[in-house]
Amino acid sequence: MTKVQRILVGIDTSPQAWFALRKAIAIAEQQGAALDIVTVINTEKFIGVTQGPMGFGATTPQLLDELTADLKQNLAAARQKAVEAGVKDVQVHLHSGNSKTLLANTLPERYGTTLIVVGATGLNAVSRVLIGSNAAYIIRNASCDVLVVKTDMDQKTVNVPKRLFHKL
């Protein structure tokens, strides 16, 4: 079996991302691999989806600034977990754009990724049909191995509510 040299793990604030991060950290520590922890602000989803005093409208710069600050804090916490677990080379990255193409193609090529780790979809059935899951897209399009995490560290299936979000 080929040794994993560089892992890219995509995280957001979902429980699925937390499980993916924990497994990516464990693999990186066991294999002595570098770890790139990535969050993508999917800007395509923000246009016309916020609710303000006048109803629904475009995302404000203030809202994006707040989101960016929260995600940077989340990335810092994720990096700290990896460092505390003994991973020697940990980088965090915040990008904006299409999360599917960035995680499947652009970023793995840029970082020299040999394994992508993502959480199983947090979408409900209707959302999966309409927009598709990131995990499914990454599996189909990535040029390296992909691990989709569906279990906890004890290999027990995790059933989490679809709309439950938390900070790492």
pLDDT tier at 118 (50, 70, 90 boundaries)? very high
Answer yes or no: is 51 within a domain. Answer: no
Report the CATH number that the domain containing residue 129 is assigned in CATH. 3.40.50.620
pLDDT in tens, 51-69: 555 445 556 778 888 889 9
How far apart are alpha carbons 113 and 143 in whole angstroms? 9
Whether residue 1 is contained in a domain is answered as no
Arithmetic mean of pLDDT, 120-127 = 53
Domain presence at residue 24: yes
| Residue 47, pLDDT above cutoff 70 | no
Residue span of the structural domain in which 20 resides: 6-45+57-149
Residue 42 confidence (pLDDT) above 90: no
- Within a domain: 161: no
CA distance 144 to 106: 12
Give me the number of domains the chain comprises.
Answer: 1
The pLDDT of residue 36 is: 98
pLDDT above 70: residue 29:
yes
pTM attached to this predicted model: 0.82
pLDDT in tens, 124-147: 444 444 435 788 899 999 999 999
Q: What angle do CA 155, 12, 152 make, to 5 degrees?
A: 10
